[in-house]
Amino acid sequence: MHLSVDIKKNFPGLKLHFDFTLEANRCGILGPSGSGKSTLMNMLAGLLTPESGHIVLDGDTLFDSSRSINLPPEKRRVGVVFQHSHLFPHMNVAKNLFYGRNRQLAGAARIDDAQLISVLQLNSLLERQVTSLSGGEQQRVALGRTILANPRLILLDEPLSGLDEALKYQIIPHLRKVFTEFTIPMLFISHSLEEMRLMTDDLLLMGHGVIDRQEKTEVLARGTVSERGFVNILKLGEAQNIDRLHRRNWGENNLYLVASGETAPGRFQINARDIMLFKQHPEASSARNILNCRVSALRDLEWFVRVEMELGGQRLIAEVVPQSVEELGLAPGVEIVAVVKASAFHRLF
Amino acid sequence: MLSPDDFTAIRLSLEVATTATLLALPAGFAIAALLAFSHIPGKAIIEGIVNLPLVLPPVVVGYLLLLFLGRHGWLGSLLDRFGIQVIFTLKGAIIASSVVGFPLLVRSIRLGLESIDKNCIFAARTLGASWWDTLFTITIPLSFRAILAGMTLMFARSLGEFGATIILAGNIPGVTQTIPLAIYQYTSMPGGDSMALSLCLVSIILSFMVLLVSEAMNRRLIRN
């Protein structure tokens, strides 16, 4: 996706001026509440008209005040998934899903209905009334409805913030799967860096009414102080049962995790403060994962030092107190042993 | 018990109420949508003008309409040139009912429109539905119960319209004499009590039927 935006809009007490060019398919807009994220989204979708400027998406001008171009929302092919699902209450699930698709030009459909319905696990819900669905189910229907309308860009306005933690992790895999399988560019709006790390590769960072800068999501996460410690997100392979533990591949490495019911591959998190560092290989340890790493960078965060390490093509971050850095002689290039307990991993999805 | 004139009055009443309600519906919906969705300046003034007939004595409304639509009135003289006469005709009765019942229609539809989740309408637009498409597939279906309630109220109000009608359309048996006007005539006639009472009974039955029908339709809508 190529998106070029330069628009202005004034509200009492807030002047908005968004000026950016974006060349990314999984991008997030991160900013505090009240910074104008939703306003930007509404202007991109055509639900709100900027005072001046232009919006160009993949070479098509959606808005240009100097040429008096302002495509109505239905002509822009920019889909929106709102914070709450906003399903049509007088239609059942199937009618909601196909509302947008039925309004596309014949032959324009790029998405296979059956495939999408199965990816989102909506088969058993099709005849249900939308008012009888749970919050997570409603959000899945809303997502499916938007995708079937065949948009060239989907805007997601905090689609997870209305859901509780457990539901959130049920929805995220669906979201990821849909955007990977159907290769639809998206702009994901949120104020949660954690959601951004799971959903996006690039970020637009928003200040009050302006885009401050653009950054890779992981780069930003590594440099951001987190009160509860940096969270490593690991993509692990399928589990094999070994000595009542689960062994999972992580790139070229093998990790041992406490056995759980689920053996499928998935995303796991480890808090950077749950990783212990040793100068040499401890002869015997109760911890099951003893990993030889090389320090690639150190980042001083006042009370903690963030130690970035590389091992077998992967990256792992630990947080230790400054005294430890001195005693271990940590510096870029130094070989070190990271020790992680089998119980320190938590499955995200 | 009922004279042929009474049957004519009943027919005229139903004709006036039905025509007035159907004629006022598109304008009523448009004004309600304007009041519910737009942010135009002068909204309060439009609202005031629309609601005025609700608080003014119907006789005053009738008299103002007479001044406006009478042969020397601003619009009346214009219509007269095309050979159209409003006062003392069925058209006059319909206009009187429309004006008096209009605020009830608008208020009801407006409440219904305001209760629609605006993001549903936005969602429909981003899914590729044009403004008109959205109107017919989302906005109207979602406010249908309110539209029905407004029409019921207006229909019932029109059935009972007296003050504005008698001034604008007069009380001409067979032409503009609706049930209330006929009752009024009977009560000022010696020995007309029983006739008046029969028409009162008809009036009660009609109103009751309006309520029953609207309730039944409402139930069906909820079930669907």
**What is the spatial distance between Cα B22 and Cα A96, in angstroms, rounded to a whole number?**
31
> Which pLDDT band holds residue A13 (cuts at 50, 70, 90)?
confident
> Which pLDDT band holds residue A343 (cuts at 50, 70, 90)?
very high
A169-175 mean pLDDT: 82
**A102, closest residue in chain B (CA to CA):** B128
* Residue B1: predicted pLDDT: 76
> Is the CB of A152 inside 8 Å of chain B's CB atoms?
no
For residue range A291-305, list pLDDT tens digits in order: 999 999 999 988 899
Tell me the backbone φ, ψ of residue B105, rounded to 5 degrees.
-65, -50
**What is the spatial distance between Cα A231 and Cα A259, in angstroms, rounded to a whole number?**
21
* Residue A108: predicted pLDDT: 66
B122, B128, B142: residue with CB nearest A90: B142
The token pair at A342 is: 């089998």
Residues of A in contact with B137 (CB under 8 A): 99
Contact A94, A130 (CB under 8 A): no
Neighbours of A109 (CB within 10 A): 13
B123, B128, B130: residue with CB nearest A104: B128
Contact A205, A211 (CB under 8 A): yes
| The amino acid at A134 | S
Q: What burial class does residue B53 get, using C-beta atoms within 10 Å of its C-beta: 0-12 exposed, 13-18 middle, 19+ buried?
A: buried
Q: What burial class does residue B54 get, using C-beta atoms within 10 Å of its C-beta: 0-12 exposed, 13-18 middle, 19+ buried?
A: middle
For residue range B176-219, list pLDDT tens digits in order: 999 999 999 999 888 889 999 999 999 999 999 998 998 898 88
> Is the CB of A205 inside 8 Å of chain B's CB atoms?
no
A76, A82, A103: residue with CB nearest B129: A103
> Which pLDDT band holds residue B102 (cuts at 50, 70, 90)?
very high
**What is the spatial distance between Cα A168 and Cα A165, in angstroms, rounded to a whole number?**
5
Strand partners, A204: A29, A214
> Is the CB of A98 inside 8 Å of chain B's CB atoms?
no
> Which pLDDT band holds residue A169 (cuts at 50, 70, 90)?
confident
* Residue A224: predicted pLDDT: 85
Neighbours of B196 (CB within 10 A): 17
CA atoms within 13 A on the CB side of A191: 12
Q: What burial class does residue B135 get, using C-beta atoms within 10 Å of its C-beta: 0-12 exposed, 13-18 middle, 19+ buried?
A: middle
**Element holding B43 (H helix, E strand):** helix B43-55
**B221, closest residue in chain A (CA to CA):** A90
**What is the spatial distance between Cα A98 and Cα A102, in angstroms, rounded to a whole number?**
6
For residue range B119-128, list pLDDT tens digits in order: 999 999 999 9
**What is the spatial distance between Cα A1 and Cα A187, in angstroms, rounded to a whole number?**
10
| Contact criterion met (CB < 8 Å) for A78 and B126 | yes
Contact B211, B152 (CB under 8 A): yes
**What is the spatial distance between Cα B122 and Cα B110, in angstroms, rounded to a whole number?**
18
Neighbours of B207 (CB within 10 A): 14
Residues of B in contact with A80 (CB under 8 A): 122-123, 126
**B130, closest residue in chain A (CA to CA):** A74
* Residue B217: predicted pLDDT: 87
Give me the residues of A, 13-52, that contact B with CB < 8 A.
45-47
Residues in Cβ contact with A217 at an 8 Å cutoff, skipping those fewer than 6 apart? A28, A196, A197, A200, A201, A202, A203
Residue A106 above 80 pLDDT?
A: no
Poorest-pLDDT segment among A160-164, A192-196, A242-246, B45-49: A160-164
Which of the listed CATH numbers 2.40.40.20, 3.30.470.20, 2.40.50.100, 1.10.150.20 matches domain A231-347? 2.40.50.100
B117, B127, B141: residue with CB nearest A99: B127
Residues of B with CB under 8 A from a CB of A: 117, 119-120, 122-131, 133, 137-138, 141-142
Residue B36 above 70 pLDDT?
A: yes
Q: What percent of chain A has pLDDT over 90?
A: 62
**What is the spatial distance between Cα B107 and Cα B48, in angstroms, rounded to a whole number?**
12
CA distance B142 to chain A (A): 7
Better-predicted residue by pLDDT, A144 or A165 = A144
* Residue A149: predicted pLDDT: 92
Q: What burial class does residue A105 get, using C-beta atoms within 10 Å of its C-beta: 0-12 exposed, 13-18 middle, 19+ buried?
A: exposed
| Contact criterion met (CB < 8 Å) for B133 and A104 | no
The token pair at A225 is: 């102080």
Residue A8 above 70 pLDDT?
A: yes
> Is the CB of A159 inside 8 Å of chain B's CB atoms?
no
Residues in Cβ contact with A267 at an 8 Å cutoff, skipping those fewer than 6 apart? A198, A233, A234, A235, A236, A347, A348, A349
* Residue B41: predicted pLDDT: 87
> Is the CB of A71 inside 8 Å of chain B's CB atoms?
no
3-state secondary structure of B90: helix
For residue range A39-78, list pLDDT tens digits in order: 999 999 999 999 999 999 999 999 999 999 999 999 999 9
* Second CATH level (architecture) for the domain A2-223: 3-Layer(aba) Sandwich (3.40)
The residues spanned by each domain of chain A are 2-223, 231-347
CA distance A46 to chain B (A): 8
Q: Spell out the domains of chain B, with CATH numbers in brackets.
A: 4-223 (1.10.3720.10)
| The amino acid at B159 | L
Residue A104 above 90 pLDDT?
A: no
CA distance B154 to chain A (A): 26
- For B95-106, b/e burial (b = at least 16 CB within 10 A) is bbbbbbbbbbbb
**β-pair type (A52-57, A78-81):** unpaired
* Residue B5: predicted pLDDT: 87
Residues in Cβ contact with B84 at an 8 Å cutoff, skipping those fewer than 6 apart? B91
Best mutation target, B119, B120, B126, to test chain A (most A CBs within 10 A) = B126
Nearest to A275 by CA among A287, A286, A264: A287
**A73, closest residue in chain B (CA to CA):** B126
The DSSP string of B109-174 is: HHHHHHTS-HHHHHHHHHTT--HHHHIIIIIHHHTHHHHHHHHHHHHHHHHT--HHHHHHT---TT
* Residue A283: predicted pLDDT: 82
**A100, closest residue in chain B (CA to CA):** B127
* Residue B199: predicted pLDDT: 93
> Is the CB of A261 inside 8 Å of chain B's CB atoms?
no
* Residue A48: predicted pLDDT: 94
The DSSP string of A159-226 is: TTTTS-HHHHHHHHHHHHHHHHHTT--EEEEES-HHHHHHH-SEEEEE-SSSEEEEEEHHHHHHHS--
Residues of A in contact with B133 (CB under 8 A): 74, 103
